Amino acid sequence: MSAAQRAEHDEATYDVIVIGGGGAGLRAAIEATAQGAKTAIVCKSLFGKAHTVMAEGGMAAALRNVWPEDGWDVHFRDTMRGGKLLNNWRMAQIHAQESPDRVLELEEWGAMFDRTPEGLILQRDFGGHRYARLAHVGDRTGLELIRTLQYRAVELGIDVLMECNVQRLLLDDGHVAGAFGYWRQTGRFILLRAKAIVLATGGAGRSWRVTTNSWESTGDGLRLALEAGADLMDMEFVQFHPTGMVWPLSVRGLLVTEGVRGDGGTLKNKNGERFMFNYIPEFFKAETADSEAEADRWYQDKKNNRRTPDLLPRDEVARAINSEVKAGRGTPHGGVWLDIASRRSADYIKRRLPSMYVQFKELADVDITKEAFEIGPTCHYFMGGIRVEADSAATTVRGLFAAGECAAGLHGANRLGGNSLSDLVVFGRRAGLHAAQFAAAQRAPGAVDPSDLDAAAARMLAPLERQDGEDPYAIQSDLQDTMQDLVGLIRTQSELDEALVRVRSYRDRLSRVSARGDAKYNPAWNLSLDLDSMLTVSEVCTRAASMRTESRGGHTRDDFPTADPEWAKVNVVVRRKDGELSLQTEPLPQMPADLKEIATGEGKATAAAAPQTT
Amino acid sequence: MTETTEQVRRDATVRVFRGEDRTSGQFVEYTVPVDPGMVVLDVMFRVQQMRAPDLAVRWNCKAGKCGSCSAEINGRPKLMCMTRLSSLPPAEPITVAPMATFPLVRDLVTDVSFNYEKAKTIPAVRLAPPGPDGKRRMFQEEVDRVQEFHKCIECFLCQNVCHVIRDHEENKEAYAGPRFFVKLAALEMHPLDTRDRIEMIRAREGLGYCNITKCCTEVCPESIKITDNAIIPLKERVVSEFYDPLAWVKRRIFGGPDDGAKEPAAVADR
């Protein structure tokens, strides 16, 4: 690229730029603005369309509206146990302590949660949460969250750069200096200078064939962070949500909220057996009903009965479904049945789960108020991501912060449902706060090296300049098959080895990729660039999965089927050294004794308030 | 299930608008193989993968939740991700065109920034303080009607179909459109909101232009009763505020459109 071409780019300067327009990015930008920082949100899609809209069931917070016995300590304990104790304890503590305030703040900004008979915010049951804890709006809680934050950002006059795709972070002597990318609508380049940057780019499920994730979830933030020198952590832990649609093929993977089970739905195999009773792990035996009779009573009387195993944490349920299907007890299209119609009235289902009703009716010709429907595991969430300092959301690169799904630590080896939306606002706020404080201490954004811009621009333009190269859609499709088949819910060494060989061959093909047409709203070109992130994340995930020779949470090894106490002590950390990826284990931060007692014991509040465990 | 209720198609022919402006652009016909259960957006993906890799299509969730893939399918404003092939006549090609009311970017993608600019004109919610325990109380019955409005996914199909702006570019300046009447209704009916936006709804957002043809309600993918539940109640509030003789007398005596309990929102207030 010539200097003249480079001069073509747009340019803007901010104190803080937030990359990502979902819940975490919006909350970060709102906080940074409140702190007085000149802030912009940069997002790949239109404003308010980010993947957060897909969140359905609710956001977890110990508001104590439904169960006065609840408290931050119980929420902390549930989160740690759900994460198989691999969580960053401090993040789990902050999350549990601050999420109630973040929910009330959303209400202040206009969110309309469902109500209790007393007029307070209603809370719903979800997997792994001891008490009904999820503030929700029917089954469209994510939409309410993003719309509320979106209009709060509008009220504050925050600049929003829509359909703008960041391709490279710029550093000045190891500090963040800005970002370089392009506008999707015109293809023009844009240089953003900033004193601090918050990454809030979400997950990377698009590399799997069967996923709940939208096209945006390509893991851009993970690649940008890695290239800037930040650490990634826990990248082997990928959550497969137990209940995605399986038929028709057009909607395979589409999310079916855990709220269906929270509100009374049960899982059955093709023989009509409630198979979850056969899959209760030792770890959760004390708090889980061991007979259908007790589980049925629990729906009526939650104080004196233990909860149904249908609401075990997601990793347990997804593995159980997988085992049933493998054993030949699956449904016609390779899933299992989810049945809410036989417990709840049509009115109840339509009121509590309106979009599930419409989704099945319109896309699958199935009436969930009348019959059971087929579901199966679907790639949903990255527990791993960018390693951050718990209190400040700071990465290991100065001036670079990360929050939401692209950050690691809070969820450990497995995330509980409902803990994602609360994660977004708790750590989005902290990232915005600390980014603004960091920016305030800098005199000006760092210097931008023109050769960095040349290199970034040349890389971006290459797919447009190349004739008759590899087809980006074909590479994406092959990658999705590979990750689905070889780095899925159940993993084994030989398959991981094969996956790595294939992912590297796609990298080779990507170097010859060609996008027909020009740069103006050209999805083939956009995908060619996104594939760089998808391949980086796929390689990191595969190598981390090879390294962890045990089964824990969202990482299950056929060849190492049990949890290994030695692996309970370490995270797998990934960084780039001299252009090469390096993976190593590092010890978990030590949990203080009092928190350890809450996490591993019954916990004081819990023991006193939970007769169902005795 | 789909195999039994759906007429089996092996392939589909689509006529897709291609181009960067509406006069020089044209419909291009593509035939691609299809599978049972597919929606129009799936066919667009097939066209991208097999025939036209640079076909510009805006989409995100492919689940009817984000409102990105709005288009005009056989002349009807719809979401591409929620329009099953089985709902369209099998013998004819499927016509897919960009929304007509907004400037064209390319192919099926339009510049919807009009809507984001209108959003900035609406004064945000301002709630009465919480109770002594720091919590707010609202009852499900009063929340229900606001929740209906909050279902809006901002697909802008209602804006696209509204003839006030679809046929009259010059009205865009003074007219917010159905999406934002829904937004305003949600704010006005919020049980704890303290602001009064009636004057600005009349004077600035152009509610009077709407003559209740219900086109917006018909195309809403979330089945929000835009006309009956949002626009008509807002019109009634404007009428009782400004054309009710008692209210007129009250305004003469007490001044302003303020009813005493609510704080009037300045027209330019953000």
Length of chain B (residues): 270
Is B156:B99 a contact under the CB 8 Å cutoff? Answer: yes
Domains of chain B by start residue, with CATH: 2-110 (3.10.20.30), 113-264 (1.10.1060.10)
> What is the reported pLDDT for B260?
39
Q: In what order do the strands lie in the sheet with B76-79?
A: B26-33, B11-18, B94-97, B70-73, B76-79
Query: Any idea which architecture A460-569 has in CATH?
Result: Up-down Bundle (1.20)
The reply to whether B1 touches chain A by the CB within 8 Å rule is: yes
**What letter represents residue A129's amino acid?**
H
CA distance readout (Å), A573 to A86, A234, A570: 13, 7, 9
Q: Which two tokens stand for residue A484?
A: 């689905």
The reply to whether B145 touches chain A by the CB within 8 Å rule is: no
Cross-chain residue pair A254–B62, CB shorter than 8 Å: yes
> What is the reported pLDDT for B268?
38
Nearest-angstrom CA–CA distance, A438 and A417: 32
**What letter represents residue B153's amino acid?**
I
Question: In whole numbers, what is the pLDDT of chain A averaged over residues?
Answer: 95
Cross-chain residue pair B38–A525, CB shorter than 8 Å: no
Cross-chain residue pair A112–B154, CB shorter than 8 Å: no
Q: In which residue are the tokens 């797998």 written?
A: A572
Q: What is the largest CA-CA distance in chain A?
A: 75
CA distance readout (Å), A600 to A80, A83, A87, A125: 8, 12, 13, 22
A241 is a catalytic site residue = yes
ipTM value for the complex: 0.94
Mean per-residue pLDDT for B122-140? 94
Cross-chain residue pair A251–B38, CB shorter than 8 Å: no
Contacts 24+ apart (CB under 8 A), A588-593: A588/A86, A588/A88, A589/A88, A589/A89, A589/A90, A591/A89, A592/A89
Is A520:A206 a contact under the CB 8 Å cutoff? Answer: no
Question: In the 8-state DSSP scheme, what is residue B229?
Answer: I
Q: Which two tokens stand for residue B70?
A: 């709005």
- Chain B residue with Cα closest to A367: B1
Report the gap between the CA of B43 and the closest CA in chain A (Å). Answer: 10
The reply to whether B151 touches chain A by the CB within 8 Å rule is: yes
Report pLDDT digits (tens) over A104-140: 999 999 999 999 999 999 999 999 999 999 999 999 9
Nearest-angstrom CA–CA distance, B6 and B38: 10
> What is the reported pLDDT for A455?
95
Is A460:A182 a contact under the CB 8 Å cutoff? Answer: yes
- Domain definitions of chain A by residue range: 242-378, 460-569
Q: Which of A51, A53, A65 to mutate to test the interface with B (most CBs of B within 10 A)?
A: A53
Strand pairing of B26-33 and B11-18?
antiparallel
- Give the nearest partner residue to B153 out of A143, A364, A524, using CB atoms: A143
> What is the reported pLDDT for A2?
55
Question: In whole numbers, what is the pLDDT of chain B averaged over residues?
Answer: 90
Is A43:A161 a contact under the CB 8 Å cutoff? Answer: yes
> What is the reported pLDDT for A437?
98
What's the fold here for domain A242-378? Flavocytochrome C3; Chain A, domain 1 (3.90.700)
Q: Which residues of chain A have pLDDT under 70?
A: 1-7, 602-614
Length of chain A (residues): 614
Residues of chain A found within 8 Å of residue B146, distances taken between Cβ atoms: 112
Cross-chain residue pair B65–A521, CB shorter than 8 Å: no
Report the gap between the CA of B115 and the closest CA in chain A (Å). Answer: 11
- Give the nearest partner residue to A108 out of B55, B105, B127, using CB atoms: B127
> What is the reported pLDDT for A387?
98
Q: In which residue are the tokens 């809070």 written?
A: A410
Residues of chain A found within 8 Å of residue B38, distances taken between Cβ atoms: 248, 250
Nearest-angstrom CA–CA distance, A282 and A284: 5
Among A375, A381, A382, A417, CA closest to A251? A375
Q: Please tell me which residue in A206, A241, A491, A502 is annotated as part of the active site.
A: A241
Q: Which residues, in sequence order, are bridge partners of residue A135?
A: A59, A123
The reply to whether B20 touches chain A by the CB within 8 Å rule is: yes
Is A539:A474 a contact under the CB 8 Å cutoff? Answer: no
Report the gap between the CA of A365 and the closest CA in chain B (Å). Answer: 6
Interface size A-B, in CB pairs within 8 Å, comes to: 176
CA distance readout (Å), B94 to A200, A381, B39: 39, 36, 12
Cross-chain residue pair B48–A523, CB shorter than 8 Å: yes
The reply to whether B53 touches chain A by the CB within 8 Å rule is: yes
Predicted confidence (pLDDT) at residue B256 exceeds the cutoff of 80? no
Q: Which two tokens stand for residue A571?
A: 């995270």
What is the secondary structure of A140-190 as a DSSP string? -HHHHHHHHHHHHHHHTT-EEETTEEEEEEEEETTEEEEEEEEETTT--EE
Q: Which two tokens stand for residue A585?
A: 């284990």
Report pLDDT digits (tens) over B212-225: 999 999 999 999 99
Report pLDDT digits (tens) over A422-448: 999 999 999 999 999 999 999 999 999
Predicted confidence (pLDDT) at residue B264 exceeds the cutoff of 90? no
Predicted confidence (pLDDT) at residue B97 exceeds the cutoff of 80? yes
Residues of chain B found within 8 Å of residue A138, distances taken between Cβ atoms: 147
Q: Among residues 152-181 of chain B, which lie with CB inside 8 Å of chain A?
A: 152-154
Cross-chain residue pair B64–A110, CB shorter than 8 Å: no
Handedness of CA A268, A271, A272, A277 (dihedral sign): negative
> What is the reported pLDDT for B9?
75
- Give the nearest partner residue to B60 out of A152, A215, A358, using CB atoms: A215
- Chain B residue with Cα closest to A185: B105
Tell me how far apart the terminal alpha carbons of chain B are, to the nearest angstrom: 50
Residues of chain B found within 8 Å of residue A162, distances taken between Cβ atoms: 116
Nearest-angstrom CA–CA distance, A306 and A299: 10
Count other Cβ atoms within 10 Å, centred on residue A250: 23
> What is the reported pLDDT for B266?
46
Cross-chain residue pair B35–A473, CB shorter than 8 Å: no
Count other Cβ atoms within 10 Å, centred on residue B192: 17
Backbone torsions φ then ψ of A283, nearest 5 degrees: -55, -30
Contacts 24+ apart (CB under 8 A), B249-257: B257/B196, B257/B198, B257/B199
Cross-chain residue pair B37–A251, CB shorter than 8 Å: yes
Backbone torsions φ then ψ of A190, nearest 5 degrees: -140, 135
Report the gap between the CA of B169 and the closest CA in chain A (Å). Answer: 22
Cross-chain residue pair B147–A49, CB shorter than 8 Å: no
Peptide bond between residue A248 and the one before it cis (omega within 30 degrees of 0): yes
Three-class SS state of A510: helix
Is A83:A25 a contact under the CB 8 Å cutoff? Answer: no
A261 is a catalytic site residue = yes
**Neighbour-count burial for A358-371, b at 16+ CB within 10 Å, e otherwise:** bbbebbbbbebbee
What is the secondary structure of A209-278 as a DSSP string? SSBS--TT-S-HHHHHHHHHT--EE-TT-EEEEEEEE-SSGGGTT-B--THHHHTT-EEE-TT---GGGG
Report the gap between the CA of A381 and the closest CA in chain B (Å). Answer: 15
Is B143:A112 a contact under the CB 8 Å cutoff? Answer: yes
Among A240, A404, A389, CA closest to A320? A240
Report the gap between the CA of B245 and the closest CA in chain A (Å). Answer: 33
Nearest-angstrom CA–CA distance, B12 and A250: 15
Q: Which of A51, A143, A161, A247 to mutate to test the interface with B (most CBs of B within 10 A)?
A: A143
Q: Please tell me which residue in A223, A261, A429, A502 is annotated as part of the active site.
A: A261
- Give the nearest partner residue to B65 out of A143, A185, A216, using CB atoms: A143
User: Which phi-psi region, left, alpha or beta, contains residue B105 (left: φ > 0; alpha: ψ -120 to 50)?
Assistant: alpha
Predicted confidence (pLDDT) at residue B261 exceeds the cutoff of 50? no
What is the secondary structure of A512-528 as a DSSP string? TB---S-STT-HHHHHH
Q: What's the whole-model pTM score?
A: 0.94
Cross-chain residue pair A523–B64, CB shorter than 8 Å: no
Q: Which two tokens stand for residue A573?
A: 């950390």
Q: Which of A140, A164, A363 to mutate to test the interface with B (most CBs of B within 10 A)?
A: A363
- Give the nearest partner residue to A114 out of B37, B82, B140, using CB atoms: B140
Q: In which residue are the tokens 């439904």 written?
A: A66
- Chain A residue with Cα closest to B49: A473
**What letter represents residue A253's amino acid?**
G
